[in-house]
């Protein structure tokens, strides 16, 4: 981006006169004083420490101006341009809306209980074969991350692919109305955040909020295998386009073949019967994510050869069914960013089917925000555990105790290892001593369980609690 402070001040309704600073040029926006670059506008946000306290660091890293809460006007630096606003986050969102209207790209918004990040990556890759595309970085998918993504666009951006997360009613309503998508995508409905919603029905209600800002001529793309979506879609006036495994969908696979050796999947689709698509991932659920991306690509009239190319060459966000190699030579399937019961079962099923010269070892941590039925939902993961396919289990967390108890009759004490949350270092030590180069190990848990410390130890030999 590139804007003078005077334009930014008008967009955010700044309450102070900039004087000679009005012509200062801003080339980026960031809320982390450690990560901004020269020419940035700093956005001080509340957190463990108030962002206003980091203005010195922001200036040292090249910030040329800052938003500033009017309630802290007395603390504002006198020798540095600040824009006084009621709330820096609200001002950042207003600035994002202004920048979006200036650039006017087509917008694809993606949400779902599972698969939204992978679908975002695949969609951006497919569209990127013919358009200048900007996509959500990592998982910057909330009230801070979405405007940050918008403000990261260059002036030549043609398509913006935005991932949207939610953990409460109203969140997707706000985000959708902020970006006003041309295409809204829902990958599926699972149990993520069920603690806050109570039922999958209510999760579906909240997910449908992504259509609230959909342009009048926008299209609604969703998983047509999910009754919770098909029923609610009847109340969305926009054009509907569906994908899924069933032949009743607009796009569905006519064949799927897993290449376990190279960790990839090939499949054919009804719309292109003579074409073979390939993705660098395993699992039918990832075929669904690819179908969502193909659906969007079809809406954008992407040529068939580029649809194939975009999926085959997708640049995937890390720690989502990512294959790595450990110090002992073991293959590691890292899926540690997030977890819910549906996703965990899907990944375990896929993992158990991959060939290994040695053993399949699963390291599973608690799935958070599952509410009063958390133990029952953790125990349900037993459906995907077969000792002939996944021979060793390392489980950690109070809710994983329910799973340990459920599978105790099919796994011997030598196969089943359970740890409390404060025993992560012991789990890591035991796991590292157990693994051989012929083994495959899978790690999955909610991000709040921080299995990245275990992954770091397996890759770099650093053990920590």
319 is in an annotated binding site: no
Q: How confident is the model at residue 195 (pLDDT cuts 50, 70, 90)?
A: low
51 is in an annotated binding site: no
Highest mean pLDDT among 183-192, 287-296, 327-336, 449-458: 287-296
Same domain flag for 260 and 390: no
Is residue 291 in a domain?
A: yes
Helix H or strand E segment including 202: helix 200-207
Is residue 384 in a domain?
A: yes
CA-based nearest residue to 97, from 135, 137, 143, 40: 143
User: In this structure, what DSSP letter does residue 72 have?
Assistant: G
Residues with Cβ within 8 Å of 60's Cβ and at least 6 positions away in sequence, in order, are none
Same domain flag for 295 and 330: no
Least confident among 28-42, 312-326, 387-401: 312-326
pLDDT of residue 462: 66
CA 192 to chain centre: 12
Mean pLDDT of the chain: 93
pLDDT at 223 over 90: yes
Give the strand order in the sheet containing 331-335: 322-325, 331-335, 440-444, 360-365, 392-396, 416-419
Same domain flag for 193 and 108: yes
Record the tokens describing residue 338, joined without a space: 């997030």
pLDDT of residue 383: 95
Is residue 94 in a domain?
A: no
136 is in an annotated binding site: no
User: In this structure, what DSSP letter does residue 316 have?
Assistant: P
Q: How confident is the model at residue 373 (pLDDT cuts 50, 70, 90)?
A: confident
Residues with Cβ within 8 Å of 229's Cβ and at least 6 positions away in sequence, in order, are 186, 189, 204, 207, 208, 222, 223
Is residue 16 in a domain?
A: yes
Q: Using CB atoms within 10 A of its CB, is residue 88 exposed (0-12), middle (13-18) or buried (19+)?
A: buried
Is residue 393 in a domain?
A: yes
Count of H helices and E strands in the chain?
A: 16, 21
254 is in an annotated binding site: no
Q: What CATH number does the domain containing 338 carry?
A: 3.90.190.20
pLDDT of residue 465: 47
Higher pLDDT, 279 or 463: 279
Q: Using CA atoms, how far apart are residues 39 and 290, in angstroms rounded to an integer? A: 38
pLDDT of residue 371: 83
Q: What is the pLDDT of residues 61-117, one digit of tens each?
A: 999 999 999 999 999 999 999 999 999 999 999 999 999 999 999 999 999 988 899
Through-space distance between the first and last CA atoms of the chain, rounded to whole angstroms: 41
Which three-class secondary structure state does DSSP give residue 282?
Answer: coil
pLDDT at 403 over 90: yes
Residues with Cβ within 8 Å of 205's Cβ and at least 6 positions away in sequence, in order, are 169, 232
Same domain flag for 346 and 293: no
Q: How far is CA 397 from CA 122, 175, 348, in A?
A: 33, 33, 18
Domain boundary among 283, 312, 341: 312
* Residue 8 domain boundaries: 3-86
pLDDT of residue 101: 97
Record the tokens describing residue 194, joined without a space: 């069920």
Q: Compute φ and ψ for 336, nearest 5 degrees.
A: -105, 5
CA-based nearest residue to 312, from 355, 281, 268: 281
90 is in an annotated binding site: no
349 is in an annotated binding site: no
Same domain flag for 337 and 449: yes
User: In this structure, what DSSP letter does residue 372 have?
Assistant: G
pLDDT of residue 194: 57
Q: Using CA atoms, how far apart are residues 131 and 317, in angstroms rounded to an integer? A: 20
pLDDT of residue 358: 94
Q: Using CA atoms, how far apart are residues 338 and 367, in angstroms rounded to an integer? A: 8
190 is in an annotated binding site: no
Same domain flag for 145 and 293: yes
Is residue 261 in a domain?
A: yes
8 Å CB contact between 44 and 70? no
Domain boundary among 279, 312, 345: 312
Same domain flag for 299 and 349: no
pLDDT of residue 197: 62
Tally the domains of the chain.
3
pLDDT of residue 200: 81
Same domain flag for 148 and 282: yes
pLDDT at 138 over 90: no
Mean pLDDT of 310-316: 95
Percent of the chain residues topping a pLDDT of 70? 97
Q: What is the pLDDT of residues 238-255, one digit of tens each?
A: 999 999 999 999 999 999
Q: How confident is the model at residue 192 (pLDDT cuts 50, 70, 90)?
A: low
Same domain flag for 135 and 212: yes
Domain boundary among 27, 59, 86: 86
Same domain flag for 230 and 356: no
pLDDT at 378 over 60: yes
Q: What is the pLDDT of residues 354-368, one digit of tens each?
A: 888 999 999 999 998
Is residue 95 in a domain?
A: no
pLDDT at 276 over 70: yes
Same domain flag for 280 and 384: no
8 Å CB contact between 369 and 339? no
8 Å CB contact between 96 and 27? no
Mean pLDDT of 203-221: 95
Q: What CATH number does the domain containing 222 carry?
A: 3.40.1190.10
Higher pLDDT, 221 or 446: 221
Higher pLDDT, 370 or 391: 391
């Amino acid at each position: 981006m590139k804007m003078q402070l005077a334009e930014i001040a008008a967009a955010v309704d700044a309450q102070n006169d900039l004087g000679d600073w009005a012509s200062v040029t801003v080339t980026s926006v960031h809320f982390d004083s450690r990560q901004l670059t020269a020419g940035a506008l700093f956005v001080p946000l509340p957190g463990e420490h108030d962002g206003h306290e980091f203005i010195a660091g922001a200036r040292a890293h090249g910030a040329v101006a800052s938003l500033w809460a009017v309630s802290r006007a007395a603390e504002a630096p006198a020798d540095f341009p600040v824009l006084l606003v009621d709330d820096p986050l609200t001002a950042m969102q207003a600035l994002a809306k202004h920048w979006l209207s200036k650039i006017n790209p087509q917008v694809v918004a993606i949400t779902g209980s599972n698969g939204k990040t992978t679908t975002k990556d695949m969609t951006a890759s497919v569209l990127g074969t013919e358009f200048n595309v900007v996509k959500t970085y990592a998982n910057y998918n909330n009230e801070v991350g979405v405007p940050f993504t918008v403000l990261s666009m260059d002036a030549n951006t043609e398509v913006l692919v935005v991932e949207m997360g939610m953990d409460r009613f109203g969140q997707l309503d706000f985000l959708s109305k902020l970006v006003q998508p041309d295409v809204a995508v829902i990958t599926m409905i699972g149990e993520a955040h069920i603690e806050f919603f109570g039922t999958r029905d209510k999760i579906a209600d909240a997910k449908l909020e992504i259509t609230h800002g959909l342009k009048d001529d926008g299209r609604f793309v969703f998983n047509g295998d999910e009754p919770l979506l098909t029923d609610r879609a009847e109340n969305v006036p926009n054009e509907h386009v569906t994908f899924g495994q069933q032949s009743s969908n607009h796009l569905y696979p006519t064949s799927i073949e897993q290449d376990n050796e190279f960790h990839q999947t090939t499949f054919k689709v009804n719309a292109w019967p003579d074409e073979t698509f390939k993705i660098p991932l395993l699992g039918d659920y990832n075929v669904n994510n690819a179908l969502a991306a193909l659906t969007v690509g079809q809406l954008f009239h992407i040529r068939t050869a580029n649809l194939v190319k975009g999926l085959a060459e997708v640049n995937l966000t890390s720690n989502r069914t990512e294959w790595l190699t450990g110090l002992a030579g073991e293959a590691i399937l890292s899926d540690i960013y997030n977890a819910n019961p549906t996703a965990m079962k899907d990944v375990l099923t896929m993992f158990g089917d991959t060939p290994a010269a040695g053993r399949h070892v699963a390291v599973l941590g608690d799935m958070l925000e599952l509410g009063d039925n958390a133990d029952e939902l953790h125990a349900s993961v037993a459906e995907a555990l077969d000792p002939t396919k996944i021979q060793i289990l390392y489980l950690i967390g109070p809710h994983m105790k329910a799973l340990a108890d459920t599978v105790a009759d099919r796994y011997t004490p030598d196969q089943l290892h359970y740890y409390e949350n404060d025993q992560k270092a012991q789990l890591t030590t035991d796991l590292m001593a157990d693994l051989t180069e012929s083994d495959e190990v899978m790690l999955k848990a909610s991000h709040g369980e921080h299995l990245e410390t275990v992954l770091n130890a397996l890759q770099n030999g650093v053990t920590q609690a």
